[in-house]
Copies of this chain bind each other. A is one copy, B any other.
């Protein structure tokens, strides 16, 4: 067998993530590796924590990055908070809601489903009705920005209803963090997870999470051990947070270089300002939507419920899905996303996330799509 170094092509990433990564972030990840208990590294982790608190708009002490992708962040929230036999209301309007249900069941808890329409926001009234029927529910879980459909749910309204029914809230913000308004403390979110490779435009492989004091109390009152040793926050917290003696306990070897990249990408978000980043995503979305409209390509999600950073559109009739995507990739080095779940083969997902949300990408995408559709 013969192998050589892998030199990837230079793509423009406009799928559902990973998104384009800035040269500064790629430069950060290549800096010399130091130890995960090195005092200089610990200082950087403290900054990552502060920057994540800013990105999440939270004062939560337990705010950190799980050393694994977003799906592990999801699992971190469920395995730590939910105990066997507890009842969790899970709102499902796409693939990632379905995955939440799977998580609840693998914990040995009971999932009560609020069945939403794919491509629409979760209906708050429907959640309310379900909560009235299940007064013993302990949690409400939902996806803020459904990556599989491009629908944005009203997290503030859903959390407010959940709180009126004394539930803790678990929110998937994998695609929303940094791309649309999100306020963890103001909206009363108890547990939230995200991904590094969407609107933060960091490399894939990390999952920012945050737990409210109420969530931390719930974890501390557990009767049983968390089923995952790796994701057990009571152990991880001693590494990420200063415990009594100011000493960090070794839990696992942190992904040092990926955290350099996360630090750098969060720094960019901080310097740009959250509101400005949200506005930039909105502006680029408007430009993309105008261009798609000229190509007679239709959105799946009604205008008011659309995610600016993830544009799910119907594949025009008679058009070969795979052929168009291959054409874009081969002729223009442009990646757009395929449909997922119910939308497989029926939709494209065009991402405008983080560093990808810029004029040149929108222009390329529209022009290249126009070319592909006239082949």
Interface on A for B, CB 8 Å cutoff? 1, 3-11, 13, 15, 17-18, 20-21, 24, 26-36, 38-41, 44, 47, 50-51, 54, 67-72, 74-75, 79, 99, 102-103, 105-107, 195, 197, 203-205, 225-230, 250-258, 260-261, 263-264, 267, 270, 329, 335, 340
A33, A74, A195, A267 pick with most chain B CB within 10 angstroms: A33
Q: A11-B32, A29-B30, A70-B252 are in contact. Are A75 and B5 (CB under 8 A)?
A: no
Are A203's CB and B32's CB within 8 A? Answer: no
Are B225's CB and A106's CB within 8 A? Answer: yes
How far, in angstroms, from A264 to B5 measured CA to CA in the complex? 6
Select one of B106, B195, B227, B251 contacting A106, CB under 8 A: B227
19 interchain pairs (CB within 8 A)? A5-B263, A6-B264, A8-B44, A8-B260, A11-B34, A11-B38, A13-B34, A18-B33, A18-B34, A26-B257, A33-B197, A33-B203, A69-B254, A69-B255, A75-B229, A103-B229, A106-B227, A203-B257, A255-B255
Q: A41-B8, A47-B3 are in contact. Are A204 and B36 (CB under 8 A)?
A: yes
Are A99's CB and B253's CB within 8 A? Answer: no
* Chain A contact residues: helix, strand, loop or mixed: loop
Are B51's CB and A3's CB within 8 A? Answer: yes
* Residue numbers in B under 8 Å from A256 (CB-CB): 18, 203-205
Q: A11-B34, A228-B228 are in contact. Are A263 and B6 (CB under 8 A)?
A: yes
Q: A28-B6, A32-B26 are in contact. Are A228 and B1 (CB under 8 A)?
A: no
Are A21's CB and B50's CB within 8 A? Answer: no
The residue of chain B having its C-beta at the shortest distance from the C-beta of A41 within the complex is B8
Least distance between A172 CB and chain B CB atoms (Å): 13
Are B204's CB and A254's CB within 8 A? Answer: yes
Select one of B7, B34, B99, B255 contacting A31, CB under 8 A: B7
Q: A1-B50, A70-B253 are in contact. Are A32 and B28 (CB under 8 A)?
A: no
How far, in angstroms, from A230 to B31 measured CA to CA in the complex? 29
Are B11's CB and A270's CB within 8 A? Answer: no
Are B29's CB and A8's CB within 8 A? Answer: no
Are B205's CB and A67's CB within 8 A? Answer: yes
Are B267's CB and A5's CB within 8 A? Answer: yes
How far, in angstroms, from A246 to B340 measured CA to CA in the complex? 18
Select one of B41, B67, B260, B261 contacting A68, CB under 8 A: B67
How far, in angstroms, from A2 to B213 measured CA to CA in the complex? 26
